[in-house]
């Protein structure tokens, strides 16, 4: 027996929700989306509020989740789970993303007194010493390892691209990086 909401209309069952998601995915059916929105938006917002989110923030994240539902309805696979599980996976991911964004904003906003301070002479001297030790350690690597480390870490080249550019097997590239990093770690031990 379907549940009845406070307005007297029954809540759609799992099969109906899956069918509506399929209609949104395949036909961009606005009526099916409206029914999904009416069903899930209040539940998503209530879930976020119970999780400690402020009302405005919960409303905004709910809108984001529902927009994602519209855009990514084609990714729903009824064989892997129900519509509610799929929607609440989107909610979980959106909540994690929102927490990361908040953390990044807090990290970027350093107090002005700290941001305006120039590094001390001691800090500059220690940095120069660390850089000299790092250059010396890099120069002590054999040419193949040094080249691969420079491409991987300084040029930010993916391992597969390095293997292709140097005409080497991917395993050889990874092995050389691993060996070079072990050697560098030993040479730079105690450097922080």
Q: What is the pLDDT of residue 112?
A: 54
**Alpha carbons 186 and 182: distance in angstroms, whole number:** 6
Same domain, 174 and 143: yes
Q: What is the pLDDT of residue 1?
A: 41
Q: Give the chain's residues under pLDDT 70.
A: 1-9, 106-118, 190-192
* Distance, C-alpha 76 to centroid of its chain: 20
Q: What is the pLDDT of residue 113?
A: 55
- Domain of residue 152: give its range: 123-187
**Alpha carbons 35 and 25: distance in angstroms, whole number:** 14
pTM of the predicted model as reported, rounded to 2 decimal places: 0.50
Tokens read off for 173: 């590239």
Q: What is the pLDDT of residue 67?
A: 92
CATH number at residue 170: 1.10.10.10
Q: What is the pLDDT of residue 132?
A: 83
- 10 forms beta bridges with 4
First to last CA, the chain: 65
Q: What is the pLDDT of residue 5?
A: 45
CATH number at residue 58: 1.10.1740.10
Q: Is residue 9 part of a domain?
A: no
Tokens read off for 137: 């350690």
Question: How many Cβ atoms sit within 10 Å of the Cβ of residue 66?
Answer: 20
Per DSSP, 9 falls in state P
Taking a C-beta distance cutoff of 8 angstroms, is the pair 67, 20 a contact?
Answer: no
Q: What is the pLDDT of residue 192?
A: 54
**Tell me: the pLDDT tens digits for 31-49?**
999 999 999 999 999 988 8
Q: What is the pLDDT of residue 30?
A: 92
**Tell me: the pLDDT tens digits for 104-133?**
776 666 555 554 566 777 777 777 887 888
Final residue in a domain of this structure, among 54, 85, 108: 108
**Alpha carbons 70 and 31: distance in angstroms, whole number:** 12
Residue 26: partners with Cβ closer than 8 Å, 6 or more residues away: 74
Per DSSP, 118 falls in state P
């Amino acid at each position: 027996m379907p549940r009845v909401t406070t307005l007297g209309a029954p809540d759609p069952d799992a099969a109906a929700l899956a069918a509506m998601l399929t209609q949104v995915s395949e036909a961009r059916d606005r009526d099916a989306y409206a029914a999904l929105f009416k069903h899930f938006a209040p539940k998503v917002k209530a879930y976020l509020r119970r999780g400690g989110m402020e009302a405005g923030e919960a409303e905004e994240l709910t809108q984001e989740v529902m927009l994602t539902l519209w855009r990514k309805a084609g990714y729903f696979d009824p064989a892997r789970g129900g519509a509610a599980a799929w929607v609440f996976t989107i909610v979980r991911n959106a909540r994690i993303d929102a927490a990361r964004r908040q953390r990044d904003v807090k990290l970027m906003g350093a107090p002005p007194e700290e941001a305006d301070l120039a590094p001390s002479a001691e800090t500059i001297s220690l940095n120069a010493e660390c850089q000299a030790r790092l250059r010396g350690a890099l120069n002590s690597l054999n040419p193949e390892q040094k080249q691969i480390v420079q491409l991987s870490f300084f040029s930010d080249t993916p391992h597969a691209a390095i293997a292709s550019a140097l005409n080497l097997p991917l395993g050889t590239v990874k092995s050389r990086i691993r060996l070079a990093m072990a050697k560098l770690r030993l040479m730079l031990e105690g450097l922080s």
